[in-house]
Amino acid sequence: MANPDPSNLPRVAVVTGGSGGIGREVSHRLAADGMSVLVHYAGNQVTADEIVKSISDAGGTASSYGADVADELQVAELFDTAEQLYGGVDVVVHTAGIMLLSRLTEFNLEDLDRMHRINIRGTFLVNQQAARRIRRGGAIVNFSSSVVKLAFEGYTGYAATKGAVDAMTLILAKELRGRDVTVNAVAPGPTATALFLDGKDQATIDTLANLAPLQRLGVPSDIAEAVSFIAGPARWVNGQVVYVNGGVV
């Protein structure tokens, strides 16, 4: 029997942070788009496995895999697993990250180092493996943040890590010239996830919700919709930071 034509096989997506609020929605959306999805998790295997079951129950294909995105060997094994399970990698969506907040003058340097390790080193390693392995016609989608532009007080350390993500994204898009691979970042604004809402009182949440002309917080499905577009039909969107924030400026 002849080997199947790879172009007729389902595209394969690796979603880091796939057990998180936005990562969960992205995993579901890409599976609904027909992709086989490897749902990465850092420590929450139970949630990741629930997502895999939900995708499978809906007729999709998914598996879960745990790894530290800042460990080069574990990141390589994550991509090895995707290739072993599904034959290759076409889409990498890097949602994994942490957000620790404080004014610059009071910021704990151990927290800064922790964010640097996960948000910057983690993005670098995931992009490195993605760039080495992703197939022609593929897409790499990083996660930045609208706070890089909005400059909210207390977000100095976090915004600095996401500014680094922006730089990596724009440069990698150029470095992959000739590969037919797009590299972009989405930059969500205030989005109703546990990560964003943690520690905020209702008055703060209401203020943030009113920043957008649409007068609400984003929800994970809003972000997943943009990821689906960039990872799928939007082949002429490349080397961009796409602000997905409802019009917050």
Residues acting as catalytic residues: 158
Up-side HSE of residue 137: CA atoms within 13 Å toward CB?
A: 10
DSSP codes of every residue in 125-160: HHHHHHHHHPPTT-EEEEE--THHHH--TT-HHHHH
Task: Name the one residue in this structure whose structure tokens are 């990562």.
Answer: 23
Buried b (16+ CB within 10 A) or exposed e, 180-216: ebbbbbbbbbbbbbeebeeeeeeeeeeebbebbeeee
Q: Express the helix, strand and coil content of the chain in percent, nearest 5 each.
A: 50, 15, 35
Tell me the two tokens of residue 120: 């910057």
